[in-house]
């Protein structure tokens, strides 16, 4: 795709970019793009090095609402 670019294409592109943004803004734009790329790379490295936090403990219902099994013996039958 970019193999067909000649020196004339690049020069025309530079002239158009200079006319659009001005010669004072081009270094600022380049610096901000560079900082953005550095920040992106740093974020990728941080995300890869952080271990997953342990899952939060499951909420326990209040004791008045919980059903419990009989403490011992055989299970009670409903038909008794």
Tens-digit pLDDT profile for residues 28-80: 989 999 999 999 999 888 877 766 666 777 776 665 555 565 566 666 777 75
Tokens of 23: 């010669």
Asked, for residue 16, whether it belongs to a domain, the answer is yes
Residue 36: predicted pLDDT? 95
Higher pLDDT, 64 or 5: 5
Tokens of 40: 């992106």
Question: Residue 14 sits in a domain of what CATH number?
Answer: 1.20.5
Higher pLDDT, 69 or 12: 12
Residue 41: predicted pLDDT? 93
The range of the structural domain enclosing residue 13 comes to: 1-49
> What Å distances lie between residue 70 and 25, 35, 55, 66, CA to CA?
78, 66, 31, 13
In the predicted model, is pLDDT for residue 24 greater than 60?
yes
Asked, for residue 65, whether it belongs to a domain, the answer is no
Tokens of 68: 């419990």
């Amino acid at each position: 795709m970019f193999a067909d670019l000649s020196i004339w294409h690049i020069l025309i592109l530079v002239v158009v970019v200079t006319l659009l943004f001005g010669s004072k803004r081009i270094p600022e734009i380049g610096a901000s793009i560079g900082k953005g790329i550095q920040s992106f790379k740093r974020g990728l490295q941080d995300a890869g090095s952080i271990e997953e936090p342990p899952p939060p403990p499951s909420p326990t219902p209040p004791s008045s609402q919980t059903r419990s099994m009989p403490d011992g013996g055989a299970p009670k039958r409903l038909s008794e």
